[in-house]
Amino acid sequence: MARLEIRSLRKRFDDVDVIKGVDLEVEDREFCVFLGPSGCGKSTLLRLIAGLEDVDEGNLLLDGGDITDLPAVNRNLAMVFQSYALYPHMTVRENMSFALKLAKAEPDVIAKKVERAARILALEPLLDRKPAALSGGQRQRVAIGRAIVREPRIFLFDEPLSNLDAALRVQMRLEIARLHQELKATTIYVTHDQVEAMTLADKVVIFNAGRIEQVGSPLDLYRRPANRFVAGFLGMPQ
Ligand code: ADP
Ligand code: MG
């Protein structure tokens, strides 16, 4: 189980309110997409969930337990960024093993988990290569593989495809959809790309200027946009 509740969450940087009171529930196994324009606070919200920023006000609950003040390492959430942040001197296998080694997992357990992730992501032929010898799409797959081996309670993706070219983006989008079919893990996926959001999401959260404008299934949003912002952002006639 991994069900996240966000209650009255607020965050300011210097004198600027960036997250202005967010309430949201992400259900177990749900694929939830935060969609909104650049600068609206999507990454900040994700970083608050991950524990990479301190919350100013409000609470985060995971399966009913309060994690608001829990250090990031103890939340068991895995974040995948748009810059892949792989270790350049390590092979793919070593990159994927690293977090488990730090956690002092048994070598045969590590090997099994890495093999499974490599199979899911079609990385088996690349396990002994270093990141410099991989394409952008392959690197992003390794970054996702690193998240998978940790068996996180929630996957957090921050615009993971925005550094890829258009064709690769379409391919990786399909792979992420397939991955979710296979793993059925709770996922929060940040993007400013409407097509990505609508094709991947069970639930879309339309975000704007630090606030939620609307929450719904892709179909709900197209059928009943809550306001002019949502309609405009989705490119509908107003
Ligand atoms: P998005 O991911 O939707 O593009 P961000 O969450 O990155 O938006 O940023 C939202 C706002 O918060 C922006 O105005 C940004 O400049 C500001 N911001 C983000 N992180 C910091 C920080 N560490 N210090 C100061 N301002 C920040
Ligand atoms: Mg961002």
Q: Which residues line ligand 1 (CB under 6 A)?
A: 13, 18, 36, 38-44
Residues of the chain above pLDDT 90, percent: 84
What is the rounded CA–CA span in Å between residue 181 and residue 226?
Answer: 30
Least distant ligand from the CA of 18: 1
Q: Strands, DSSP E only, in the chain?
A: 4-13, 16-26, 31-35, 57-62, 65-66, 77-80, 154-158, 186-191, 203-208, 211-216
Residue 238: the pLDDT is 67
Residue 85, pLDDT score: 83
Which of 90, 205, 220 has the alpha carbon at shortest distance from 145?
90
Q: What is the pLDDT of residues 82-116, one digit of tens each?
A: 877 899 999 999 999 998 999 899 999 999 999 99
Residue 52 has a CB neighbour count (10 Å cut-off) of 14
pLDDT digits (tens, 9 = 90+) for 185-229: 999 999 999 999 999 999 999 999 999 999 999 999 999 999 999
**Considering every ligand atom, which ligand is closest to the CA of 20?**
1
End-to-end CA, the chain: 41
The pTM assigned to this predicted structure is 0.94
For the CA of 158, the closest atom of ligand 1 is 2
193 alpha carbon to ligand 1 midpoint, in Å?
Answer: 18
